[in-house]
Structure formats: structure tokens, C-alpha cells
Amino acid sequence: MRGICLLALFAPLVPQAATAHVVRHNSVPEAYWGTWIPDTGACSADDKSAIVLTAKDYVGPAGKCSVDYVSETPAPKGAAIYSARLLCPGTGAQKKVVNLIFRSDAGGGIAAGPTFASLKTHRSCSESGAATKK
């Protein structure tokens, strides 16, 4: 009984484990809409490594896909990390599920890729075709 009383007394003083609060969205946040190219790429229609994001669509190396949903997770240094579940053309009537992770980058671009280990820095292309910083 004495042990239970001590536990009840000290339990509020123990720091709680950090938990990530994931927020689910129906679309890509507007700040990420546009054409994004790898830092070493050129803004051209022929660039196969470019990523085009709109509210509900993705066009890039995985093909032309629709956005099923986007999960937003807080990051330790303030900026959110997003993970988009994409439904891409597969074999027959089956859709292939592809994940795209993206977050803001310090230089005004984004880091994007299918896994954390494969994130690559991208910069935005303006409508005129010149690379810009968002």
C-alpha cells in the first residue's frame, strides 16, 4: 500500500514520453504547389527528375499519381514533415501505392524523396522556367 501511495505521489513528476501528433490532410499544402527540380537540374519540360505538386496530383519519377492523403508530423526544429500517400498507375486495375516525404529546406527549397534516406534538395521553378527560391 505504501508503494502505491509513493508511486501516485511521484508519477506526475516523471516527464511524459514525447509523442508525435500526426495531422491528416486531404491535399498537399499550398506552399508546396508548383514544379520542383533537383538542385543540379534545369527548369525544362524535358527534365524527368522534376516533381510537380498540386493540391491533389503528383507528377514525377513515379509517374502521374493522385494524392490519397497527406500526413503532417511536427519536426524537432519547428518545420513540419509531410508524407503523401500517392495512388499511381499499376498493373491492370490495381493502383500502386507510393509514398513521398517532403519538408521545407533551409535555402527556401524543399527536401523530397520516397524515404528519409533518399531525400534530395529541390528548388522551385517559376512559370518563366527560371529556378527560384520559394
- The answer as to whether 100 is a domain residue is yes
Stretch 5-9: mean pLDDT: 45
- The answer as to whether 69 is a domain residue is yes
- The answer as to whether 6 is a domain residue is no
Tell me the whole-structure pTM to 2 decimals.
0.75
How many domains are there within the chain?
A: 1
Stretch 111-134: mean pLDDT: 75
Q: Which domain holds residue 107?
A: 20-132
Query: Which pLDDT does position 126 carry in this prediction?
Result: 67
Alpha helices (H) in the chain, listed in sequence order: 2-10
Cα gap 110→61, rounded to integer Å: 16
- The answer as to whether 4 is a domain residue is no
φ and ψ of 10, to 5 deg: -95, -15
- The answer as to whether 59 is a domain residue is yes
Cα gap 81→129, rounded to integer Å: 27
- The answer as to whether 13 is a domain residue is no
pLDDT over threshold 80, residue 47: no
CA distances (Å), 36 to each of 14, 31, 33, 50, in order?
45, 12, 9, 6
